[in-house]
């Protein structure tokens, strides 16, 4: 079982990722959820994280609020994709489980210090502000992280918030730069992978058909999400980005990628937030990331549907 902290900005796809992780206790032990500003402001992401835990019947899960804005630039949000609440598509009850008093960054630091070195994995599903802040304030924890498995960036698929940049990296490029240079082993799920796990009708109807409250919510969320993506990309369904992270922890065999150098553009106004990925090994820069390129989408949805059926 891998111990993880999910750092998240829910977000419908974040919500599905959280559900997949919570439904998989053999492979994943979730130590806590840390919310960050991203898809919507922090007040909503921390609330949404609690809504998702309650939906999963996990009022015991600890949820912490973290940074409410990126390290340097003002916050950019994505209500145009996720709706005003960040979880548009279905109205769920206001959460009653508490938000923890501690700051998310303190929780990350304390957890890494109190567990044996290299036994805690960080799973960022949003901008990297909380993780970078933890690394800046407590550099001693960097060497203690087992691995970072994150959703962010792109290579062939380039960008979704600007022509050059993927949203999570674009929102806080300075934070991403700190994380990508940290020396912690990185596994990255870029758009190249997430644009292959499309929420086609049959896949969503299979989830809806599970008949549970969780399944209903996931189907309604993905329906909402899809409206935007179909208009924009003309895909048969929308990408389900963030669930690729727990899916990899459970079934790494579903994914293939390359260990390559990836660096973050922070200075060019045109390409700020771009993940410059040396896919072809052109440089001899350090291979700091396992950058995924392909996924067995059928296997991914079988896994997701099977696991959601447990909730």
Which residues does the annotation mark as catalytic? 241
CB of 268 to ligand BDR, least distance (A): 20
- Give exposure, 123-135, as e/b (b: 16+ Cβ within 10 Å): bbbbbbbbbbbbb
CB of 118 to ligand BDR, least distance (A): 26
> What part of residues 218-277 is at the interface with ligand BDR (CB under 6 A)?
241-242
CB of 95 to Ca ion, least distance (A): 19
Q: Name the nearest CA neighbour of 150 among 119, 182, 176.
A: 176
Cβ proximity of 128 and 122 under 8 Å: no
Q: How many CB atoms lie within 10 A of CB 183?
A: 11
- Pick the closer one to Ca ion by CB: 177 or 242: 242
> What part of residues 118-137 is at the interface with ligand BDR (CB under 6 A)?
125-126
78's contact among ligand BDR, Ca ion, none, with CB below 5 to 8 A by partner kind, is ligand BDR
Q: Is 192 in the site for ligand BDR (CB under 6 A)?
A: no
Q: Return d(Cα 167, Cα 160) in angstroms, integer.
A: 6
Q: What angle do CA 132, 133, 139 make, to 5 degrees?
A: 80
Identify which range of 10-18, 41-49, 207-215, 252-260 contacts ligand BDR by CB under 6 A. 10-18
With CB under 6 A as the contact rule, the residue among 6, 49, 81, 303 that binds ligand BDR is 81
Q: Return d(Cα 227, Cα 85) in angstroms, integer.
A: 16
Coil/strand/helix, residue 120: strand
- Pick the closer one to ligand BDR by CB: 27 or 79: 79
- Chain contacts with ligand BDR (rule: CB under 6 A): 11, 13-14, 39, 78, 81, 125-126, 151, 160, 166-168, 241-242
């Amino acid at each position: 079982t891998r111990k993880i902290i999910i750092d998240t900005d829910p977000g419908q796809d974040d919500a599905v990722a959280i559900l997949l992780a919570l439904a998989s206790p053999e492979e994943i032990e979730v130590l806590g959820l840390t919310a960050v500003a991203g898809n919507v402001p922090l007040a909503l992401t921390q609330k949404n994280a609690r809504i998702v835990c309650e939906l999963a019947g996990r009022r015991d899960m600890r949820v912490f609020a973290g940074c409410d804005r990126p390290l340097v630039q003002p916050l950019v949000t994505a209500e145009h994709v996720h709706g005003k609440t960040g979880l548009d598509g279905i109205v769920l009850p206001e959460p009653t489980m508490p938000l923890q008093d501690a700051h998310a960054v303190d929780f990350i630091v304390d957890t890494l210090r109190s567990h044996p070195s290299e036994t805690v994995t960080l799973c960022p599903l949003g901008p990297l502000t909380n993780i970078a802040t933890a690394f800046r304030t407590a550099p001693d924890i960097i060497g203690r992280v087992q691995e970072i498995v994150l959703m962010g960036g792109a290579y062939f698929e380039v960008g979704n918030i600007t022509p050059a940049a993927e949203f999570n990296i674009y929102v806080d490029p300075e934070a991403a730069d700190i994380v990508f240079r940290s020396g912690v082993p990185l596994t990255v799920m870029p758009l190249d992978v997430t644009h292959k796990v499309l929420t086609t009708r049959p896949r969503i109807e299979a989830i809806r058909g599970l008949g549970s409250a969780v399944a209903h919510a996931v189907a309604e969320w993905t329906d909402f999400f899809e409206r935007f993506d179909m208009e924009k990309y003309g895909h048969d369904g929308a990408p389900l980005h963030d669930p690729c992270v727990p899916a990899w922890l459970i079934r790494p065999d579903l994914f293939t990628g390359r260990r390559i150098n990836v660096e973050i553009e922070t200075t060019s106004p045109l390409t700020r937030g771009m993940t410059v990925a040396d896919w072809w090994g052109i440089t001899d820069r350090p291979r700091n990331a396992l950058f995924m390129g392909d996924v067995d989408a059928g296997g991914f949805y079988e896994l997701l549907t099977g696991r959601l059926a447990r909730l």
